[in-house]
Amino acid sequence: MFQAVVSTYHLKIKFPTKGGIGEVRCDQREARRCYNLSIKCSDPDKAGKRKVGEQGGEIEKIKKMKPERIEPIEGHKEIELFLGRVGTTTRTWSQMSPDLETLTIDFLRTNSDMFTWSPSDFQGIDPEIIVHRLNVDPQSKPVK
């Protein structure tokens, strides 16, 4: 680990060495020269005076980019966990092999007691813990 501390305001870098604290110092003229070299500007009068968006059209490229959206996996299959009980379904991938699908359905049905479908399924849990309440001042008027 280098553990260097950089201060651009003071144009210094301090870092630990075996013999104590090492220090790299610079002056503003040298810093400007290094900066000009780093941006490879042929005209020193224009160095450091770029306008916003003067980066070869980078801003326009970014504006034209469309954000990628995550699409749902195609081919869902509804599975009824409790046969004959409406509303107790979950989804699985329809492209599973028949063996894997059978194993998955058996696993879900075997562990169906872990699913909750209504507040009455939360037996033994204090409603204060499981009930969601918005942190809203009761005196406030609702706004559409």
With CA atoms as reference, report the closest residue to 106 among 85, 122, 83, 76: 83
Structural domain boundaries of the chain? 1-42, 76-117
pLDDT, one tens digit per residue, over 21-80 is 888 888 888 777 777 777 765 555 554 555 554 555 666 676 677 767 766 667 788 888
With CA atoms as reference, report the closest residue to 3 among 30, 28, 21, 26: 21
Q: Cα–Cα–Cα angle for 21, 24, 25, nearest 5°?
A: 125
With CA atoms as reference, report the closest residue to 15 among 1, 30, 31, 29: 1
Q: Which two tokens stand for residue 8?
A: 């651009």
Global pTM exceeds 0.85: no
